[in-house]
Structure 1
């Protein structure tokens, strides 16, 4: 299931680096992986601890007993708020689910309801998302449902499109607080010639494609050359 449009602040630069090679084959400024990529920084686990804080992009299911108008899914916006009928904007980021539940119940009880019964669950967490960009049929941010590989991640984005170069796919990951990258040959992986790398929450996957190359050539000239697992 697609979550919401990807962040584009630096993905253009990522694409430019990835496509700096010959069309239709291997190449580019990101070296190909010859070993497993290091694990990403936490959080990468799927389980959401009870004391974890609400973050921007989270999708919360809020249920208010006997109040259908209020009971629905709410997306936490980039400012860290949700907007609810009757009580308006509610600050959510930085609070645990129980803290947010109590805040909403308190505000409803001040003017509108007697002893409101409020429950909240995290339907989608931004800490569980990965991004697929470039020449895929449905680019975006998606939830990691469990153990996932590169081939499976591309399938979630509905596969590569007609302009894709599957022999040059980049995975960008935060390790030790820095962005690192490695390239992979999707064609060889599908043939069983190379291992299918694991994908984690927070990863950004970029599939090379010819239209991107022509539009980002000038950007490429301003970027440093990357080495495998070096900071991006």
Structure 2
């Protein structure tokens, strides 16, 4: 048990790391166990389809329907695995954010612009920090389309002296000053983003931009690349 004087972000970090480790275990088990079984079922259905080529149309339709159900189940499984532990993070945080932005644009029709360093050293971050930043970005993009009704989003990821800064700026409705802060926080998932930032020792701020919209800024203290070599 943590002491009363232990920094809050360390407690949050420990709890969130345990949760992420469990998500990763579940994702791995789903891939290894359920994935192999669904693949075996699909192969069996395909073999039955070949054997039933000369049978009546009703039997062939049922086999085609079964094959489609297996495909749907495999797709749903991969969606769950990606939600538990996005495989795209294996390519690095920047690549993951670019993939997330492209997916967001395809799903919503809202254009985006990525402003980041191409040589961002992923060695600066551990897997838990990467997935926390990824989840914050995903929530911010969700809010931009669903709550802010944005028409454009800018995403930036920049490594400066001793820190990594992620910014997501949309041109949506922003945060009305007259809105109930508690209700607004709950409805848009802001509390969850603050919690994720806190768990990795980062600061998260939200501010309205002059031309309308909202800027989310996450600042994560990191080592410099030279310090990582020592």
TM-score in terms of structure 2 length: 0.29
Greater share of residues in strand: 1
Greater share of residues in helix: 2
TM-score in terms of structure 1 length: 0.29
Rg: which structure is higher? 2
